[in-house]
Amino acid sequence: MLHEHTYVVIGGTGHLGSATAEALLGLGRHVRVVTRSTAKADAWAVRGAESAIADIEDAAAMASALSSPQPVRVFALNPPGSIHADPDADEDRTAAAIVDALAAARVDRVVAISTYGVRRGRRIGDLGTLHRFESLLRGLATPVAILRVAYLYSNWDGAATPARTQGEVPIMLDPDRPLPMVAPADVGRVAARLLTREQPAEGIVHVEGPRRYTPREVAAAFAEAVGSPVATVRTPPQEWTNAFLAAGFSTEAAESFTGLTTLTDGDDWQLDAAPTRGATTLPEYIRALVRNSEGT
């Protein structure tokens, strides 16, 4: 079958990349997933996608991954840095490598992932590293749409077991502060739509779910899903850095995640009054999460 475009998904084995690749496959597109893992490449082949084995920082491998007889459209996600080293430095390095590869390949268009709340700064996690990624992307001589994505429902995946076995959801954020949240699958559908539309999208697109939720509402959704009471158990702000260190984070990573959590918890974000909204509710997502966790 001859396709008009090749859709390359950088970061295709995480929540958002996988969701975008699945959405593109559902539209009958020619999808190529960039991964470092042969096993994950084989799994994508079963689902109908081509794979490219490449390390993001390997310029020759990335050139091959972005090469096609058809015009190439790219979903770009900068992968998280190592929590055991300096994640800010890792992400700055891979961001530069991704943008260099895109510039060298002269791709047709790019849809890239960023986050709500980005701003200039160091040791503030993704809020800073993705701001720098956005700045690099704007230098490309190709249309770029940047998806600033709300807090992902999948960030609560690790709470399924303590909710079911201990009746609690560990949190760091204010339990009663509403946060914009969104399902990864909804982000993938938005990304696929922007990649496949006739005219390229450019600029910032904010993506969130049907409404905003508090961490206490997250616990209530888990309680409904597991059929028993679930409470929030908050780590106070003064203990955040030590909690990250105790979990195995490096000093640099603990500082960065503390800065990120501090801003997420207390900053007055400038939110889009009319974001692109997904349809999946938080309770729907958590019900599916609990069903799947019970089956493992």
pLDDT per residue as tens digits for the range 244-277: 999 999 999 999 999 999 999 986 666 777 899 9
- Directed axis angle between helix 87-105 and helix 126-137, to 10°? 20
Question: What is the percent of the chain where pLDDT is above 90?
Answer: 89
> Can you tell me whether residue 265 is helix, strand or coil?
helix
Task: Name the pTM for this structure.
Answer: 0.95
Q: In this predicted structure, what is the pLDDT of residue 271?
A: 72
Question: What is the percent of the chain where pLDDT is above 70?
Answer: 97
Tell me if 16 sits within 8 A of 80, measured CB to CB. Answer: no
CATH number for the region 6-152+182-208 comes to 3.40.50.720
H helix intervals, 124-230: 126-137, 160-166, 184-196, 215-226
Task: Report domain extents, the chain.
Answer: 6-152+182-208
H helix intervals, the chain: 15-26, 38-46, 59-65, 87-105, 126-137, 160-166, 184-196, 215-226, 240-246, 251-266, 282-294
